[in-house]
Every structure is written in structure tokens, then in C-alpha cells.
A = this chain, B = another copy of it.
Amino acid sequence: MEKVNIEEKLSLFNDYWNPRIVGELNGQHVKLAKLKGEFIWHKHDHEDELFYVLKGMLKMEFRDKIVEIKENEFLIVPKGIEHKPVAEEEVSLLLFEPASTVNTGNTINELTREDLERI
């Protein structure tokens, strides 16, 4: 039972769109990720996802609107809703989601990351 320091964990990696697992509880994962650029449109059929912005500003595009998530704000994207994260500048992000969640949801391509590293 060790505490987790967010800054320390963020200093351990620099690649984008490759979440790391930093905690696990009740079948859910706590992940950290760095984002820059545009991700792909996708949805998760079975998982709601929480995006908590630690640094920067994340634009979450939906088919009918865009939500700008700034530092110390979070957004919950319900299962089944198509979304596309866009980071015009680097964003540091905390994610809460079920351990079963795959980053690209129903779209498997070169951005898909499985067997995420635990740091």
C-alpha cells in the first residue's frame, strides 16, 4: 500500500497516446497519459470513461459538440458515445475506467495499446 505521486509518475514517460496504469481498485484502473495531436473517433460499448486534465487543455469532440476540458476539470464520457480527443498542445491526463477498457474502443488500429505498462 504505497501512495502515488502524480508528478513523479508523469516524469517516467514522454510518449503520447500510450497510457500507463498507476492504480487499480474495484476492477477499475487509474491511468496517466500524455497526449498531443488528434486521436481517432471511437467509442466504448461497455465502459464509461473519466478524463481528468492535470495539465493543458483537452478538446473532446463529439458528433454534435466540442467540450474543452481545462486543468483540474474532468469529463465523463458514457459508454456508446463516439468521441475524439484532440490536444493542440501537450496534455497530461488522468483516466479512471474499467480494467477492460481498450484505448481505441471499438476501433483497433496502430494506435491501439494493450497490456499497458504499470509504473
Would you give the shortest CB distance from A74 to chain B, in whole angstroms? 5
Inter-chain CA distance A88–B61, complex, in Å, is 42
How many of these chains are in the complex?
A: 2
Interface residues of A (CB under 8 A from B): 1-7, 23-26, 28, 30, 47-50, 54, 62, 67-70, 72-78, 81, 96-98
Looking at chain A's contact residues, the main secondary structure is: strand
- In the assembled complex, which residues on chain B have CB atoms less than 8 Å from the CB atom of A77? 1
- Tell which of A3, A77, A96 has the most Cβ of chain B within 10 Å: A3
- In the assembled complex, which residues on chain B have CB atoms less than 8 Å from the CB atom of A48? 25-26
Q: B5, B50, B97: which contacts A73 (Cβ < 8 A)?
A: B5
In the complex with contacts A30-B50, A50-B30, A96-B96, A73-B3 CB distance below 8 A: yes
Q: B2, B49, B62, B73: which contacts A25 (Cβ < 8 A)?
A: B49
- In the assembled complex, which residues on chain B have CB atoms less than 8 Å from the CB atom of A81? 1
